[in-house]
Each structure stands twice: as structure tokens, then as C-alpha cells.
Chain A
Amino acid sequence: MSGEQRADWTGGEPAILYQRCTACDHVQYFRKAFCDACGAPEPALKQASGKGIVHSTSLVTRAATPETRAHVPYNIVLVDMSEGFRMMAHGDRDLAIGCSVTAGFARFTDRLVPYFSKAE
């Protein structure tokens, strides 16, 4: 991929990055070499504030691998970020749909994953 190579949590760094198209302002979370709304190349890479609203939650109690089973139960959340994209992450058990949340990071298996808690 051309453009910036900065790593986010998917590359082991404690950051949530997203892209904003320089042509049409479309915001996207899955990193690509182009804007998936208008096709313009090299959308700008931005760091998210970590603030968002819980869209949905699912507490996983049956995992499929020995590595993930060691963590059950774990709460998977979809969060609508204030910058205008949605992301999947982990979060506290007490998160409900509509909660204002902020992101931290936690260990899950051998990875660093985004982890949301209620905003102060």
C-alpha cells in the first residue's frame, strides 16, 4: 500500500486509526489504498479520539479456540466512533447500547486489542 505506514492496534500499536478521503470526505475504518465511496487514491490516515457510543454488544461465553477460551466470558462491542466510523472491539461487561465510551487497550490472546469502558 502506498502512503503512510503508521501502525494501529492491528499492527500491535496502542492506537485506533481511520481514513478520511481527501476528495469526498468519506470516512472509513478498514484501511485501503483508495476511498471505497468515490475511489480516490490515498485517503488520509488519522488517529481517532477513542470516544464513541455503543452500537451493540455480545458477551461471548463459548469460544472456539484454546487461546480465546482462556478469556471467556469476553464482551464484544460495536462502537460508533465520534469521527463517523464503526469499529469492533472488546469492552466492560456493564456496557449497554447507547453508552458513551472511551477506548483503552487490553491483552487478548497474544494481541493488543481496543477495549472500551464508560466515559468518565
Chain B
Amino acid sequence: MSFITGVGLTRYGKHDGKSTLDLMSEAASLAIADAGLTRGEIDGILCGYSTTLPHIMLATVFAEHFGIRPAYCHAVQVGGATGMAMMMLAHHVADAGAARHVLVVGGENRLTGQSRDASIQALAQVGHPDYEVPLGPTIPAYYGLVASRYMHEFGVTEQDLAEFAVLMRAHAVTHPGAQFHDPITVADVMASKPVASPLKLLDCCPVSDGGAAVVISREPAGGAAIRIAGCAQAHTHQHVTMIPAFDEMGAAMSLTRARAASGMDIGLVRYAGIYDSFTFTLAMLLEELGLAGRGEAAAMVRGGHFSRGGAVPLNTHGGLLSYGHCGVGGAMAHVVETHLQMTGRAGDRQVRHDIPVALLHGDGGVLSSHVSMFLERVR
């Protein structure tokens, strides 16, 4: 068994003068305090990577900087799925008894620590160095290629995708930590600058500074207890040239395995924290995971299904699209918000119904690596 016992999240956007280690430390301090622990009680640390602080031993760099001598400590790299992969590993580490309290932490000054071009170029290197990168694709182009095919096969339109940007912005408006607070409309998304068709600027998540941290423990803390009921992964390819057909994609595969590991079913889910690097990513993952039928996710957004008052509220902090994306910490904000919602601590963002079960899902690469996780409120 393992439980999420504490969460910490900085605001996302510009943090002038803050380093990767500053942002990781800030989020870690918040999460440890939230768990009611002291630094000395943390005996496991997992962190990801930082494009502004490349290092072969980032976890021990952080541990020394933060002042912890853990019994278990290393970094994990799975692109955008890193946060969820660390959560899954922390669950197994705690469950196996290798550590009692595992700190999972991500943070980066991705916005102010380098130029936007440098960020975009660094990320484009997930492409094949000989057969893709020389053609000048960007991450939006890799996803744009998958999006145009998906739209072709399932009749999804650009207006449909825009609904997800509008929903994420509507959620971010009430979160003081979000990078963007101005409401947007479908027309705004459609009129935003083209980036890599069919994706336009408002279909894409921003580059942000920020940090997020979570404490996973063997035993629950006082108050509400949120258990990691089960989780799983799937990895089908690295490069978009090698992406499988839509009926053989990794998201559905990892969900099936997570259902088996947890004994949970998608019908029990009353809150969802789903990776949303682009509007298309969110639309496709919702449909892959069975939270919506094929080609039906946008209509469900319009009907309010994924809104704060809907049946399955989605990314109520604003997601990567509007809360922001600082790399490894990006999707960990989904975990933090899910925990706040499940424990009734989301303030004026609190959803109206109880959340006995929530689903988290992360994706890395070009829909290459997937991690699905069911959370259950047991007290």
C-alpha cells in the first residue's frame, strides 16, 4: 500500500532569478509541510530532469542542496510522462518498504532560464536524429501530424480541439497560481497564430517556470487518506514515424493494465487529471482512456461533462494548457490538484461531489510512453 500524504505546488509562469534547485526546493518544502513531516523524515527522493540544469545525478544534487541524506534516491526520465512515472515508482518503493516517505519533486526555470527557441529546439530532439530532426520538425509538428490523422479518421474538427483550450482556461481563471487568467473563446483559439497545422498557439501549452512536489508514504497521514490503488505503463515507440495505428496506441494499453493492477474501472472515476500538452493530446487521451467515446470528447466538453460542476471534472487547475508547463513539474500539478480535490481542499475550485476514485494519466514523447494511475479515497 502507498498513500499520497502531502502535495506542494508553486505558481507557474515567470520566476525571475529562480533556478531549477530553487523551484524544486520551494515545492518540496510545501509538500513536506503539507504531509506534516520534517525534512529528516524523508528517506526517499525521486526527481526528473531539467533542460536548464542538465546533470547525470540530479537527484543527489537536489538531496545535498536541500539537506537530506536519503536511503533511496535517483532521477527518472520519460519526457512528459516523468512525473507520473516517478509517482508509480514511489508507490512501488514505499509499498516494498525500501523507503517510508518518498519525496517526488520536479521543477525548472524553463521560461526564464533560456530562450523560448532554445526550449523548443531542446524538446524537438526527441525526434530521430538522422531521419526526423534534419527535416525541421518541432514538438507541435510531431503532435500536429498525429492530430491531422486523428481528425481525418474520426471526424474531429479544429473547433472541437479549441473547446479544450477554452475549458482549461476557464478552470485556470480561478486559480491564483495559473500562468493565464484571461478567459478565451473558441473564436480566440481559431484566430490565434498558426504554429504547426492543425495546431495554433492557443492549442499549445506554454513554457513556464515552476515546481511541484508530492510525498508518497507507506502509511496514511492524519485526515483524509488517498491511496494509490494501482498503476501501470505502456511504451509503444519513441519516434512519430514509428507510431502505431490508433487501435494499438499505448494509452489504452496502460489503462487496461492499471485497471487490472487496481481492480478499478473507468466507470468509477469522478475526477480526471489528464496530460494536456496540446488540445489534441487531451481530446485523444480522453477517448483512448474511455472517458469519452471516439470523436465524442469535444461534445462532452460543450455539455459540461468535464467542467467543475460536471460528472467528471478535468484538470480543474487549468492543466498544462493554462496553469502552465515547466517540464517535469508540469504534469505533477495535475497530481497536486487531484489530491486537493479528493481531500476537499480546493477552495473555490472545489468540485461539488465526493471523489471516491480519480484517474491520472501522463504521456511522454509523441504519445510514446504512458502511465495510468487510479487513486482511491479510503478515509
Bound pair (A, B): yes
A interface list, Cβ under 8 A from B: 10, 29-30, 55-65, 68, 71, 74, 76, 78, 86-90, 97, 108-109, 111, 113
Q: Is the CB of A10 within 8 A of B135?
A: no
Stretch at the interface among B116-124, B254-262, B346-354: B116-124
Is B302 located at the chain interface by the 8 A CB criterion?
no
What is the CB-to-nearest-CB distance from A74 to chain B, in angstroms, rounded to a whole number?
A: 7
Q: Which of A64, A78, A90 makes the CB contact (< 8 A) with B124?
A: A64
Residue of A nearest to B147 (CB): A58
Q: Is the CB of A109 within 8 A of B136?
A: yes
Q: Is the CB of B149 within 8 A of A55?
A: yes
Give every chain B residue within 8 A of A30 (Cβ-Cβ).
128, 130-131, 239, 241-242
Q: Is the CB of A60 within 8 A of B141?
A: yes
Q: Mark B222-248, 1 if CB is under 8 A from A, else 0.
A: 000000000000000001111000000
Q: Which of A64, A71, A86 makes the CB contact (< 8 A) with B121?
A: A64
Q: Is the CB of A108 within 8 A of B136?
A: yes
Give every chain A residue within 8 A of B128 (Cβ-Cβ).
30, 88
Is B140 located at the chain interface by the 8 A CB criterion?
yes
The 3 closest A-B CB pairs, nearest first, are A58-B144, A68-B136, A64-B120
CA distance A114 to B117 in the complex (A): 25
CA distance A113 to B195 in the complex (A): 21
Q: Is the CB of A62 within 8 A of B152?
A: no
Complex A-B: 25 CB contacts under 8 Å: A10-B131, A10-B134, A30-B128, A30-B131, A30-B239, A30-B241, A30-B242, A58-B137, A58-B140, A58-B145, A59-B194, A61-B195, A62-B138, A62-B140, A63-B136, A64-B124, A68-B136, A71-B136, A76-B145, A78-B241, A87-B131, A87-B241, A88-B241, A97-B148, A111-B134
Q: Is the CB of B136 within 8 A of A59?
A: no
Q: Looking at chain B, what size class is its interface with the partner chain?
A: 20 to 34
What is the CB-to-nearest-CB distance from A7 to chain B, in angstroms, rounded to a whole number?
A: 11
Known: A74-B136, A88-B131. A56 touches B196 (CB 8 A): no
Give every chain B residue within 8 A of A74 (Cβ-Cβ).
136
What is the CB-to-nearest-CB distance from A65 to chain B, in angstroms, rounded to a whole number?
A: 6
Q: Pick the most buried of B131, B147, B149: most chain A CB atoms within 10 A of its CB.
A: B131
Is B197 located at the chain interface by the 8 A CB criterion?
yes
Q: Is the CB of B146 within 8 A of A60?
A: no
Number of A-B contacts (CB under 8 A): 101
Give every chain A residue within 8 A of B138 (Cβ-Cβ).
60, 62-64
Give every chain B residue within 8 A of A59 (Cβ-Cβ).
194, 196-197
Given contacts A65-B121, A113-B135, 16 further A-B contacts (CB under 8 A): A10-B134, A30-B241, A56-B152, A58-B137, A58-B197, A59-B197, A60-B138, A60-B140, A64-B117, A64-B120, A74-B136, A76-B196, A86-B241, A87-B241, A88-B241, A109-B134
CA distance A12 to B149 in the complex (A): 30
Give every chain B residue within 8 A of A109 (Cβ-Cβ).
134, 136
Residue of A nearest to B200 (CB): A61
Q: Is the CB of B148 within 8 A of A61?
A: no
Residue of B nearest to A77 (CB): B145
B interface list, Cβ under 8 A from A: 117, 120-121, 124, 128, 130-132, 134-138, 140-141, 144-149, 152, 193-199, 239-242
Give every chain B residue within 8 A of A71 (Cβ-Cβ).
136
CA distance A66 to B25 in the complex (A): 36
Q: Is the CB of B121 within 8 A of A88?
A: no
Q: Pick the most buried of A60, A71, A90: most chain B CB atoms within 10 A of its CB.
A: A60
Residue of A nearest to B199 (CB): A58
Give every chain B residue within 8 A of A63 (Cβ-Cβ).
136, 138
What is the CB-to-nearest-CB distance from A114 to chain B, in angstroms, rounded to a whole number?
A: 9
Q: Is the CB of A76 within 8 A of B131?
A: no
What is the CB-to-nearest-CB distance from B244 to chain A, in angstroms, rounded to a whole number?
A: 11
What is the CB-to-nearest-CB distance from B307 to chain A, in angstroms, rounded to a whole number?
A: 30
Q: Is the CB of B131 within 8 A of A61?
A: no
Give every chain A residue within 8 A of B147 (Cβ-Cβ).
58
CA distance A113 to B134 in the complex (A): 8
Residue of B nearest to A96 (CB): B152
What is the CB-to-nearest-CB distance from A92 to chain B, in angstroms, rounded to a whole number?
A: 14
CA distance A65 to B132 in the complex (A): 15
Give every chain B residue within 8 A of A78 (Cβ-Cβ).
145, 149, 240-241
Give every chain A residue within 8 A of B240 (Cβ-Cβ).
78, 88
Give every chain A residue within 8 A of B132 (Cβ-Cβ).
88
Known: A60-B141, A76-B135, A108-B136. A97 touches B120 (CB 8 A): no
CA distance A27 to B304 in the complex (A): 46
